[in-house]
């Protein structure tokens, strides 16, 4: 019987560690977090010094029960969860649960921390185990409470003022602000025209390019960062071309040659942030995919812990890396001494290491025998190359800059026109033999490392001027954020922590605040409106500096420099008052971003585009008109900012009457919750491919005929007098009366059920799903047995519970919430 119980998060990690410990140790997995805040208001109670109420995560109850049973037999508990705040919190929660169940009394409880899963690291960590770090636990509780108070107060406000199902988060909202502000920059951007003049020169058979840098004795500017340009129109460029050709007489004379070496130092080993950025650039991985893949590599013992801000390396690791470099690339590839890297993050824990392979000797080709997953192989190769490169010699380039004068070398004043040719050759590859670093498209200050060879040139020497090429350019707007550049920006602002970036980005996608244009983020209409609302009314709390300062406070709590409850109180008091004030004083109309785009040509009514509870739409008329306004949702891919009056009139043209069928049934075309449709009588047929604005009566009748045929083919039994059918569905045959759907027992032939059996089965079946507000959708496809889209899009349980969020008043947050809802 094992006398020691070791707890880790994942079964994969447990399996690896079990190999390194003897029979006296049993290793079990908690499968992540075991407790979380209760899913209703009052989970964090500001009136009771921020008391936090937890509950066991139901899906992990069997795992906790198994740990309890094992603990009853063991003498010591070793909590070996991840060595960060999250891991410390998991260990603390598990210890609290086991104490409550009375299985820790008289038994030893130890906290184990290791940063790589190797035999030596695990055994050493067991020997050097200590107690739980209360400061880390406090920091995690503070972070969780803070996120709860922000989300469970701002989210219901967004539901009330904008539309249901939205969310706001302490860091998520700041990331959204970054994306929206970049989009606004792009929208405001005015492109500028400028011209450059390139020369194609040749010496013997060697041709090389040169760019005009001096014209008529003055510097030629083409600075896209500062917007300074000498030549801004084609007429200027053509005049310069003629002037230079006349002065050159077909030759360029070498005026000066400047040669100097350039050294490029290797980059430091990966942190969490730089790994996410580089894997996005090189491998096309999302932040989540990177972290999930890195997690598996860590748990299998191939890399060190992947959540780290540090770039430091252990002495043993450096020695092994340098031995590997010597054996693989030769002595010359080694740096002169050990390359030591200092962490820039002021709150990084230097006791942690950078991300590196646990064995430098296991090069990517050899690792393929152990790492079978393709993603893991590619990420391991990236980590190995970067780690090895950090201890290699700099890359050395020979750079040369040659100035060439049009015509004679002695030309001066307005007769002097100078071209510059730049060359670069790699003398010593150094670390580039192992690793090439990529850069973002907006890193304009990064010099090219591509080789460009020039022929041997000496001052006074003449070369042939073969052609002049005036080239037109336009300045470009700032690029949209990619995952790599967004992570970099968040880190540079000190917002959030690299380990949370993946979940932040996923939340923005899940809430449909952003959409992807290739690999770049573009904010959606709802994302822009949410961001504008938060920036306008909660500017302090989505301010970059404020959010970064809160991260500093959390780090100070984790270092034991500050108690967590007073810091929460300092945040909560002004925040809760502001939430209450905005809830009372700001109307939905102020937030909806309504924009008048013109007047209807027939009635003169105003046409506006705005955000509603079901998304963006155009509206003809106002609620003060005698007749009701007409509404039309935007088409997929349309954006509020881009909608014009013709666009709106087209949208408002539906529903459109087409005529009648052969039997006199009225036929029309429209758009509904499930997309465009043809309506014939009281029935509907979905339009799959046709443009609803262009569908003719003839085509509509074809769509109706196809629908009737499909319904006939899927009808097994029909009891028209009772309004009941037995139909073939996506998940098998079922019974429906259009109000309820009932499954047919597997042992029954669907064609043999009787009307009485159908009635009995429908009587006990649940009513078909309704919309979030209890209102049945206007149109449901007859074949559908799944819940309607509105129900499918309903917020998760935690978000639904958030509708009863605490808002500060004289009484408890619960009472305040009830009072507010009663007033509303």
Backbone angles phi, psi at 362, to 5 degrees: -85, 85
Look at residues 574, 575, 578 and name the one whose alpha carbon lies nearest to residue 586. 578
Report the Cα 726 to chain-centroid distance in Å: 45
Distance CA 747, CA 303 (A): 53
Does residue 508 contact residue 527 with C-beta atoms inside 8 Å?
A: yes
What sign does the CA torsion over 20, 21, 22, 23 have? negative
- 3-state SS, one letter per residue, for 379-422: HHHHHHHHHHHCCECCEEEEEEEEEEEECCCCCCHHHCCEEEEE
- The Cα-based distances of 67 to 29, 215, 327 in angstroms read 8, 80, 47
Angle at 245 between CA 239 and CA 249, to 5 degrees: 155
Q: In whole angstroms, give the CA distance from residue 293 to residue 312.
A: 22
Given 148, 194, 215, 305, the catalytic residue: 305
d(CA 111, CA 138): 16
The H-or-E segment that residue 102 falls in is none
Give the C-alpha separation, 276 to 405, whole Å: 47
Please, which residues have CB within 8 angstroms of residue 673's CB and are 6 or more apart in sequence?
777, 778, 779, 788, 789, 790
Q: Where are the alpha helices (DSSP H) in 515-596?
A: 525-537, 544-558, 564-585, 588-591
Please name the residue that has the structure tokens 């949208």.
651
d(CA 596, CA 264): 56
CA distances from 619 to 591, 594, 609, 778 (A): 16, 10, 6, 19
Assign 633 to helix, strand or coil: strand
Helix (H, G, I), strand (E, B) or coil at 130: strand
- Residues forming a β-bridge with 6: 27, 78
* Run of H or E including 87: helix 85-100
Nearest to 229 by CA among 237, 221, 239: 221
> Which one, of 334, 444, 427, lies nearest residue 389 by Cα?
334
Whether residue 513 lies in the annotated active site: no
In whole angstroms, what is the distance from residue 688 CA to residue 809 CA?
53
CB 441 within 8 A of CB 144: no
Cβ atoms of 370 and 384 closer than 8 Å: no
Q: Which residues contact 686 (CB under 8 A, 6 or more apart)?
A: 674, 675, 676, 677, 707, 781
**Which two three-digit tokens encode residue 809?**
């008043």
Q: Is 424 helix (H, G, I), strand (E, B) or coil?
A: strand
Cβ neighbours of 254 (radius 10 Å): 20
Cα three-residue angle 345-350-355, rounded to 5 degrees: 85
State the DSSP code for 332.
G
Pairing relation of β-strands 606-612 and 615-620?
Answer: antiparallel
Which backbone phi and psi does 585 adopt, to 5 degrees? Answer: -105, -20
C-alpha–C-alpha distance, residues 330 and 99, integer Å = 57
Cβ atoms of residues 482 and 518 within 8 Å:
no
Residue 111 main-chain phi, psi, to 5 deg:
-105, 125
DSSP string, 242-259: HHHHHHHTTEEEEEEEEE
For the annotated catalytic residues, the residue numbers are 305
């Amino acid at each position: 019987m094992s006398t020691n119980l070791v707890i880790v998060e994942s079964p994969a990690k447990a399996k690896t560690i079990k190999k390194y410990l003897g029979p006296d140790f049993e290793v079990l997995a908690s499968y992540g977090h075991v407790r979380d805040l209760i899913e209703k208001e009052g989970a964090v109670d500001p009136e009771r010094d921020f008391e936090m109420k937890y509950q066991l995560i139901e899906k992990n109850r069997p795992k906790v029960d198994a740990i309890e049973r094992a603990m009853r037999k063991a003498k010591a508990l070793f909590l070996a969860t991840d060595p960060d705040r999250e891991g410390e919190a998991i260990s603390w929660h598990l210890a609290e649960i086991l104490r409550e169940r009375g299985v820790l009394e008289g038994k030893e409880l130890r906290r184990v921390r290791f940063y790589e899963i190797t035999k030596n690291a695990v055994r050493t960590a067991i020997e050097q185990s200590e107690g739980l770090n209360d400061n880390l636990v406090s920091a995690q509780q503070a972070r969780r409470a803070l996120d709860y108070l922000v989300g469970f107060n701002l989210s219901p406000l967004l539901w009330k003022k904008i539309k249901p199902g939205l969310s706001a988060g302490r860091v998520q909202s700041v990331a959204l602000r970054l994306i929206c502000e970049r989009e606004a920059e792009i929208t405001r951007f005015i492109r500028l025209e400028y011209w450059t003049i390139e020369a194609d020169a040749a010496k013997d058979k060697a041709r090389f390019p040169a760019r005009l840098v001096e014209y008529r004795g003055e510097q030629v500017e083409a600075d896209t960062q500062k917007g300074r340009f000498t030549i801004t129109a084609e007429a200027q460029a053509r005049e310069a071309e003629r002037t230079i050709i006349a002065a050159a007489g077909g030759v360029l004379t070498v005026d000066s040659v400047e040669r100097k070496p350039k050294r490029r130092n290797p980059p430091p080993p990966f942190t969490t942030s730089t790994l996410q950025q580089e894997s996005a650039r090189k491998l096309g991985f999302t932040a989540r995919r990177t972290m999930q893949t890195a997690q598996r590599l860590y748990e299998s013992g191939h890399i060190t812990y992947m959540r780290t801000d540090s770039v430091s390396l252990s002495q043993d690791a450096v020695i092994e890396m340098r031995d590997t470099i010597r054996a693989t690339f030769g002595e010359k590839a080694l740096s002169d001494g050990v390359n030591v890297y200092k962490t820039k993050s002021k709150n990084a824990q230097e006791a942690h290491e950078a991300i590196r392979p646990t064995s430098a000797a296991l090069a990517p080709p050899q690792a393929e025998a152990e790492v079978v997953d393709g993603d893991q192989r590619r990420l391991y190769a990236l980590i190995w190359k970067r780690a090895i490169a950090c201890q290699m010699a700099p890359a050395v380039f020979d750079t040369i800059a040659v100035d060439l004068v049009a015509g004679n070398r002695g030309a001066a004043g307005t007769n002097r026109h100078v071209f510059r040719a730049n060359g670069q050759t790699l003398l010593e590859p150094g670390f580039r033999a192992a690793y090439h670093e990529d850069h973002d498209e907006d890193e304009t200050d990064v010099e090219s490392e591509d080789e460009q060879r020039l022929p041997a040139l000496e001052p006074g020497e003449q070369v042939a001027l073969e052609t002049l090429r005036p080239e037109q350019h336009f300045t470009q707007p700032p690029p949209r954020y990619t995952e790599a550049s967004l992570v970099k920006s968040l880190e540079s602002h000190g917002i959030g922590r690299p380990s949370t970036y993946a979940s932040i980005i996923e939340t923005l996608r899940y809430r449909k605040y952003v959409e992807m244009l290739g690999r770049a983020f573009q904010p959606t209409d709802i994302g822009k409106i949410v961001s504008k609302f938060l920036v306008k009314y909660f500017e302090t709390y989505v301010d970059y500096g404020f959010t970064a300062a809160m991260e500093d406070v959390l780090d100070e709590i984790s270092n034991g420099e500050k108690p967590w409850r007073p810091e929460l109180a300092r945040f909560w008091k002004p925040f809760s008052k502001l939430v209450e004030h905005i809830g009372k004083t700001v109307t939905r109309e102020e937030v909806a971003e309504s924009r008048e785009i013109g007047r209807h040509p027939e009635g003169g009514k105003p046409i506006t585009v705005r955000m509603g509870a079901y998304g963006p739409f155009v509206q003809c008329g106002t609620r003060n008109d005698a007749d009701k306004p007409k509404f039309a949702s935007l088409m997929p891919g349309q954006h509020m900012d881009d909608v014009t009056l013709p666009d709106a009139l087209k949208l408002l043209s539906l529903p459109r009457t087409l005529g009648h069928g052969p039997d006199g049934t009225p036929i029309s075309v429209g758009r509904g919750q499930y997309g465009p449709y043809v309506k014939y009588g009281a029935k509907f047929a979905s339009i799959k491919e046709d443009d609803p604005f262009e569908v003719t009566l003839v085509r509509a009748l074809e769509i109706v005929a196809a629908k009737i045929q499909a319904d006939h083919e899927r009808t097994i039994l029909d009891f028209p007098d009772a309004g009941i059918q037995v139909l073939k569905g996506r998940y098998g045959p079922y019974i429906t009366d259009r109000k309820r759907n009932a499954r047919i027992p597997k042992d029954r032939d669907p064609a043999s059920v009787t009307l009485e059996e159908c009635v009995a089965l429908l009587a006990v079946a649940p009513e078909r799903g309704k919309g979030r507000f209890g209102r049945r959708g206007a149109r449901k496809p007859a074949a559908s047995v799944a819940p309607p889209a509105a129900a499918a899009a309903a917020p998760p349980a935690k978000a639904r519970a958030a509708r009863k969020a605490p808002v500060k008043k004289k009484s408890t947050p619960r009472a305040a919430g009830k009072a507010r809802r009663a007033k509303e």
